[in-house]
Structure 1
Amino acid sequence: MSVEEREFCVFCAIAAGDLPADIVSRSDDVLAFRDLAPKAPTHILLIPTEHYANAAELACARPATAAQLISMAASIAAEEGVGDGYRLIFNTGEKGGQTVFHAHLHLLAGRGMPGF
């Protein structure tokens, strides 16, 4: 199915190969790529290749895929040389700061991360 034939989701288009991305890692269920507007020296997005609106929906429907997002993030952090300290963030819902409504995990590292 082409991008025009389905409701447009930028992350679905990236997962399908319809839009380019700087891919870091891929499995059957998870895709990791560099964020186009990084908020830290290392800013990688990890998404399920299937569409789920947010992290809670993904965790309920496919808990193994949700776990794979986190385990792949740990592997990528080690490969990127930031395994000694990184932040993982799921933004859920508009009020939670989610702007793309396809579940995604932010891996941020490479500088000090202030506490909450």
Structure 2
Amino acid sequence: MTVDRSRRWSYAPVLVAVVLQFVLLYSPSGGGASPFPNFDKLVHCSIFALPVFFALLARLPWVPVIAVLALHAPVSELLQWALLPHRSGDPWDVVADLVGMALGAAAAHLALNREQTERW
């Protein structure tokens, strides 16, 4: 199966979003002081929304995308708790991750519907 060049480039934002997610989730420190309370929840929401949004815009199959990221949310917290000495696992971060995924999927749905409407 070959993928044309323009479609191949649609995967680049997905890759960047996933790399950013891994860097932020698995860095040894939490990044310092928060600018406001629960800022980390906003970060979690964002770093799970972006890969979903870009993956769905790239027309990757939504079931595997959602399944993999939904599994990654609690696994990342368990890994932070067990393996990263200056990090802790937080169940509320998993909730923020899942909310971010829902927001990313909703935004992608809206963007794709708008694209379809503009074609008509």
What TM bracket, shorter-length normalisation?
0.3 to 0.5
- TM-score (normalised: structure 1): 0.39
Q: Which has the higher strand share?
A: 1
Q: In terms of Rg, which structure is larger?
A: 2
Q: Which has the higher helix share?
A: 2
